[in-house]
């Protein structure tokens, strides 16, 4: 089980336990952090997951710590949590993989939460919830903009195609009309007029077709540029928005310090 599968499974189980959304997010954040730290130590997701124990066990532990006695059923149908993801990731445009999409939310939320230094957990939870809500709202709006723009682009492209077709039809019509006109005119004038009329119609047809094609190309280019811009906007949580003062890396283990000293403190 990799990180994403593990966290999804845990989230699915926790959702069944009537926990607050903010609490669930917080728990998932904690375990996501644990996975990241483990990865940094060169452990595989499988090793980390094995050390953590099953998601059911974790959920059970959490509920017990909350004062509930529950037995969590281990069966988690996979289909249930695989369905939710496509909402966020928009596979068509390649906005990162699933995992990045879920971490987006986390990292942005962390940045929000970071401002609330040294506040009690409960307050931070509420604000974190607000933060994630805002983020969701923002993403919703961004998606609205994306959807709207895409619709506009495709609409315009369709107009371009339409123009080209109408241009073709008009051109043919004009050619036929030109023939009639030219044949009628031929009664009064000499041959060169017919030739002139046909030439004019063909020119007109070519002009309209070219215009339609040009419009299509323009639409394609506009769409590409829009997509790039929107992709940049949607990707912003990946970029280091908050620059913090670099700090020395904390040692994972402070073996010497902890070992004897702490024991002495505890026992004596």
Q: How far apart are CA 247 and CA 77, in angstroms?
A: 43
Nearest approach in angstroms of CB 72 to another protein is 13
Please state, as a whole number, how many other Cβ atoms lie within 10 Å of the Cβ of residue 9: 22
Work out whether 5 is an interface residue with another protein (CB under 8 A).
no
Q: Which of residues 31-90 bind another protein (CB under 8 A)?
A: 31-34, 36-38, 40, 51-53, 57-58, 61-62, 64-66
Is residue 266 within the footprint of another protein (CB under 8 A)? yes
Binders of another protein among residues 98 to 157 (CB under 8 A) are 103, 106-107, 110-111, 113-114, 116-122, 124
Closest distance between another protein and the C-beta of residue 136, in Å?
A: 19
Q: Give the contacts of 57 (CB within 8 A, at least 6 positions apart).
A: none
Compute CA distances 6 → 28, 61, 210, 212, whole Å: 10, 16, 56, 53
CA 64, chain centre distance (Å): 36
User: For 235, which DSSP code?
Assistant: T
In angstroms, how far is the first alpha carbon of the chain from the final one? Answer: 44
The correct pick among 83, 255, 256, 260 for binding another protein (CB under 8 A) is 255
Q: Which of 71, 252, 256, 264 binds another protein (CB under 8 A)?
A: 252
Q: Which of 70, 134, 189, 258 binds another protein (CB under 8 A)?
A: 258
235: contact with another protein by CB under 8 A = no
Show the 3-state SS of 97-147.
CHHHHHHHHHHHHHHHHHCCCCCCHHHHHHHHHHHHHHHHHHHHHHHHHHH
> Which residues sit at the interface with another protein, rule CB under 8 A?
26-27, 29-34, 36-38, 40, 51-53, 57-58, 61-62, 64-66, 103, 106-107, 110-111, 113-114, 116-122, 124, 242, 244, 246-247, 249-250, 252-255, 257-258, 262, 265-268
């Amino acid at each position: 089980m990799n990180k994403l599968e593990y966290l999804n499974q845990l989230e699915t189980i926790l959702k069944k336990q009537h926990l607050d959304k903010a609490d669930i997010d917080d728990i998932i954040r904690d375990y996501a952090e644990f996975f990241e730290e483990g990865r940094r130590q060169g452990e595989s997701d499988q090793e980390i997951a094995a050390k953590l124990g099953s998601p059911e066990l974790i959920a059970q532990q959490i509920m017990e710590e909350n004062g509930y006695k529950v037995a969590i059923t281990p069966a988690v149908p996979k289909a249930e949590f695989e369905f939710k993801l496509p909402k966020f990731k928009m596979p068509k445009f390649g906005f990162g993989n699933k995992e990045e999409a879920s971490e987006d939310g986390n990292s942005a939320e962390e940045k929000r939460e970071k401002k609330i230094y040294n506040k009690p957990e409960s307050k931070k939870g509420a604000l974190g919830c607000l933060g994630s809500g805002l983020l969701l709202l923002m993403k919703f709006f961004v998606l609205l903009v994306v959807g709207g723009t895409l619709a506009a682009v495709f609409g315009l492209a369709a107009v371009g195609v339409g123009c080209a077709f109408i241009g073709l039809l008009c051109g043919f019509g004009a050619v036929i009309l030109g023939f009639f006109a030219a044949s009628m005119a031929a009664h009064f004038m000499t041959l060169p007029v017919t030739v002139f009329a046909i030439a004019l119609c063909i020119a007109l047809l070519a002009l309209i077709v070219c215009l339609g094609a040009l419009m299509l190309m323009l639409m394609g280019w506009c769409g590409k540029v829009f997509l790039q811009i929107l992709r940049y906007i949607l990707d912003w949580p990946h970029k280091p928005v908050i620059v913090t003062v670099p700090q020395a890396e904390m040692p994972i283990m402070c073996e010497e310090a902890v070992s004897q000293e702490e024991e002495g403190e505890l026992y004596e």
